[in-house]
Structure 1
Amino acid sequence: MHANFLRNNASASAGSGHFEPAPQHAGGDAANAVARVNAKLDELDRVLQDVRQKDIKRVEEEEKARLIEKVGTKAMELNKAREELAQTQLRKAQAEERLRAHELLVQIHKTIENAFVSSGRKSVYQNQNR
């Protein structure tokens, strides 16, 4: 970019992109100097392109590393959420099991109570209260 700026703004004929000797210096030394300057400008362009490519690659690598880190963080969050869900489901299953056991005990007590009442005896619970 800088080399192109120098070329385009330092030359009397901006369309060429290279320095051209001024008419009063039309000798071989001036032509050689112009050729050396143009070669240096070409070299600067190549170096600048190389630096740009390396910078682009560096930025891409940094972005890739950030994305990998972000994906890793999200994966850890997902695993933690899965663990919490599994624990919640386990607690729910245990609570449902306790509820079924309690309902079964209530049903057994009612069956026993009904058996005593239908046989004409006093309720087990009435005997215990005395």
Structure 2
Amino acid sequence: MNKTADNIFTFFCSFIEQDPSTLEQLSPHKNGIYQEQGRLVFTLPGLYQHLVTFYNYKNNHVSDNADVDQSAKDKQAYLIFRKQLYNSDINTRLNAVGYGVDIYRSLPNIDDTYYQLSCNDNN
């Protein structure tokens, strides 16, 4: 397990449980993450930005070098997030509670691809 997977799993569980504050965060937030027909639909950059904005997610593996501009640090943090997500057991953990993540709409660029969190019965 890794901290990134823990943060994502916590967020996904709050969505699964239909936590009102989580749903409220998603209502106006169409920036690569939204709900549709009981499913959470998201791009990886959208998921990352949502965790940063609403859950104070921070990747501690990013360089603290003052000579590196913030844009480069943000990109580095996102790429580390994405790698940790792909190397995680998130789907195994979600399967244990009857949910899973799969591709919703595949696009040539992985960062433009939409994924969905849905009940295994709805896939």
| Common fold: TM-score over 0.5 | no
- Higher RCO (C-alpha under 8 Å, 6+ residues apart): 2
Structure with max Cα Rg: 1
What TM-score, normalized by structure 1, do the two folds share?
A: 0.22
What TM-score, normalized by structure 2, do the two folds share?
A: 0.23
